[in-house]
Structure 1
Amino acid sequence: MDTNWLNQQELRAWVRLAAVLELLPGVLDSQLRRDAGLTHFQYYALAILSESPQQTLRMTSLAAATNSTLPRLSHVAQRLEDLGLTERFPCPEDARATNIRLTASGRKKVRASAPGHVRNVRQHAIDALSPEQVSQLTAITDAILRRLDPAETMSQTYRRYDSAPPESGRESTATKAGR
């Protein structure tokens, strides 16, 4: 099979995307660790819970929303429980499943952490772009996501922000999580 090599324009785009994929997680993680004592993944899980009905999800649903394995999420959930930010309990509808719920301390942590996180996301990503480029970025990432997530496993996480603006005075999970 012949390799369909990248042309110069494609290579320039790919190398830059790869650099962003390598650098941005560290920038997000460093700020959250410094200012909130959380990893970006922990914050993202808390943010998703904060916008879920009754601020509760099945562990399998949270794993899908964060693109995590259940063992990784269980480890993170234990850490969040140790910090008093979440609690796990048997699912009332299915005793084989486990639910995870944000505690009052978890809600406070998300609210307190969101402003610094949003400033960081703006500084390093959003404010570097014009409004037209932000729209283009959405279209570009949608096209890539259709290839990476054809079953739309994570689509509920990012599609909920497509039609309605965030409520005034309240950050959305997308804002909180930097998406």
Structure 2
Amino acid sequence: MPDDSDRTVPLTADEYALVKAFRPAMAALARAFDANLHPLGLTHAEYVALMFLSEAPARALRLGDLAELCHQSSSHIGRTVLRLQAEGLVVREQCSQDARSFRAVLTDAGLARLEQAWPVHIAGVRRCLLDQLGGVDAAELAAAFERIAKTA
């Protein structure tokens, strides 16, 4: 790991190219994932929320926990859950342990929509991301992204 004195050394041409390409790539992936899910009536943010709910015990999470998992603000996850609730994909209910908190519960219709969207999303992830990585080691890249998420 470089020490702090290395932090001000100018970027190499390859490092600069990576930094310069990163933001447009993330924006393009976000647009592509949304476009792939649009015919199914979902945004990528909604898909991710449904995914985390499907993996949770009793298919339910406190809104604060769901916001953290989805990397959304509390207000953003609140709007996401309201849209999903309007479609009957989740139910928003008061937490029994804390009357000040609410939780989202995945409905059977929400699970069915997620199962319908899953193969579409996976195909898009393969086409737009994984197929573009060439010989990049996916496990190493995932580990690097996890380190970035923890330290940035």
Normalization by structure 1: what TM-score?
0.75
Question: How far apart are the structure 1 equivalents of 2:135 and 2:111?
Answer: 31
Deviation for aligned residue 1:87: 0.3
In the alignment of these two chains, the number of paired residues is: 146
* Residue correspondence of structure 1 range 108-147 to structure 2 within 5 A: 108-130=112-134, 133-147=137-151
Structure 1: which amino acid aligns with 2:146?
D
**Residue in structure 2 matched with residue 54 of structure 1 by the alignment:** 58
Question: How far apart are the structure 1 equivalents of 2:138 and 2:65?
Answer: 29
Deviation for aligned residue 1:75: 1.2
* Residue correspondence of structure 1 range 1-179 to structure 2 within 5 A: 4-34=9-39, 36-130=40-134, 133-148=137-152
Q: Find the residue that maps to 2:137 and give its secondary structure.
A: helix
Deviation for aligned residue 1:145: 1.7
Compare the two structures and name the one with the higher helix fraction.
2
Greater gyration radius: 2
Q: Find the residue that maps to 1:79 and give its secondary structure.
A: helix
Question: How far apart are the structure 2 equivalents of 1:79 and 1:139?
Answer: 33
Q: Find the residue that maps to 1:93 and give its secondary structure.
A: coil
Query: Which 5+ residue runs of structure 1 have no aligned equivalent?
Result: 149-179
Question: How far apart are the structure 1 equivalents of 2:53 and 2:23?
Answer: 29
* Runs (4+) off by over 4 Å: none
* Aligned-pair identity (%): 29
Residue by residue, what CA displacement relative to the aligned partner does 1:16-59 show, whole Å, maximum 9, x if unpaired? 2222112110000111012x111100111011101000000001
**Residue in structure 1 matched with residue 5 of structure 2 by the alignment:** none
Normalization by structure 2: what TM-score?
0.88
Deviation for aligned residue 1:130: 4.9
Query: Which 5+ residue runs of structure 2 have no aligned equivalent?
Result: 1-7
Question: How far apart are the structure 2 equivalents of 1:90 and 1:135?
Answer: 39
Q: Find the residue that maps to 1:20 and give its secondary structure.
A: helix
**Residue in structure 2 matched with residue 176 of structure 1 by the alignment:** none
Q: Find the residue that maps to 2:42 and give its secondary structure.
A: coil
Structure 1: which amino acid aligns with 2:139?
S
Q: Find the residue that maps to 1:38 and give its secondary structure.
A: coil
Deviation for aligned residue 1:131: 6.7
